[in-house]
Structure 1
Amino acid sequence: MRNLPKTTHPKQKSILRSFAIAFPVAIAMVGSEVVWAQNGMQRDILGDCGARSCEVMFDRVARGYPELTAQLTSDCDGDLSLQVFKSGRQWPRVSFVCWEAADSRGERTGSWLGTLPLLKGDRTFAPQWQCGEFDRVCQEWLPQLRSIAPETVRNGEVQCAMRNGELFFAVVETRVDLRCGFFATTVWDENGDGLVDYEDPVSVDISVGIIGND
């Protein structure tokens, strides 16, 4: 754990500007590197990131997706762990886990935070929402929602993709509530290496956007 510098080079300010106000403690700059930080202290990152260190992978993800990286990590007050993986035709992805303090045996529990692309411009991440073949309600409503509130729909697609979820919506009086169904996952690390040994997924859904009048 290292103290962060108190000043930031002017050329680096533009990198931080998009998330510095909303997420002041999750990400910081050390020299030209984007780092994981808590309370003004640079923190090491655990996990399995292949041939590169997880700090290098964090820097790469945070540069490509600064606001989303800050959002995922802002509530983590324990140890952050990353795992780089690739599935099928997808570009490489990075999974984020926040670990609680280990017990006397080195075991600990944690929470899966979500997934982001490793590379900026990943066209396979957050594809456009498509209605099911027999979902007539979705087929009727979705084109209207895209026309009325395209940014809200797109943000919902991104927020749900981070959670590996599925989008759906609920119509409540004059509002449409975009919702994401996903698995909120508790994880266990048996030996303190920051890797998941066991997991317990629970199906949940959250709102990722409201369209219409309150």
Structure 2
Amino acid sequence: MSGNPPPRRTRVLVVEDDLRVAGALVAGLRLQGFEVLPAYTAAEALAAPTVDLVLLDLCLPDAKGVDLCRRLRASGADMGVIAVTSLGETHDRVAGLHAGADDYMVKPISMPELCARIEAVLRRVRPRPEGPFVIGGLRVDPAARAVTRDGRAITLTRKEFDLLTCLARAAGTVVPRRRLFAEVWGTTWRGVGRALDVHMATLRAKLGDPPLIETERGVGYRLPSAAA
């Protein structure tokens, strides 16, 4: 029986010399559906196959992480790079970003935030046409940043549109609050929780009746895949 091949999974290279941390990252990312390759040294990272994104520890036994980041960038490979490190001082962040990292995360990290950061980096590094998402009478067009419901145009603020797009992208599943924090506000700080609630209430009002966005109390929000 012939048919279209399944889409290729996103391939992530985890460069981490701490076996315990590397194992947790590899296992967690595989559970999220990524194809994951581990590398425990800079030499192994440079010899690894082509990947979509690198999670790079900046403290390696055989090279400085910032030097490895520069070499990865110099290779010309089209990949995202996220520094994942215990070095959290401002000058460390600046050095990592100047070396070519697309994002910078300080350990310990959460898997929901990491996945959100990965998706955000990949959208910047390899922008692809996305959507429009059509869910019942709702139409969300990321390219035009336009929303209609039953043909009626709906004007949203930037944050409201970004929240709706996150929900539309994952229609049918609950999007955790921490993931919305990460994707829309760029943080997992719970202090933005009130802002999320306010924007979500305004978004719901603008979308009109019957209500589309469901609340999973204490967890997050969901836009049903078969919304009317």
* TM-score (normalizing by structure 1): 0.29
Whichever structure has more strand as a proportion of its residues is 1
More helix as a share of residues: 2
Which one scores higher on RCO, CA 8 angstroms, separation ≥ 6?
1
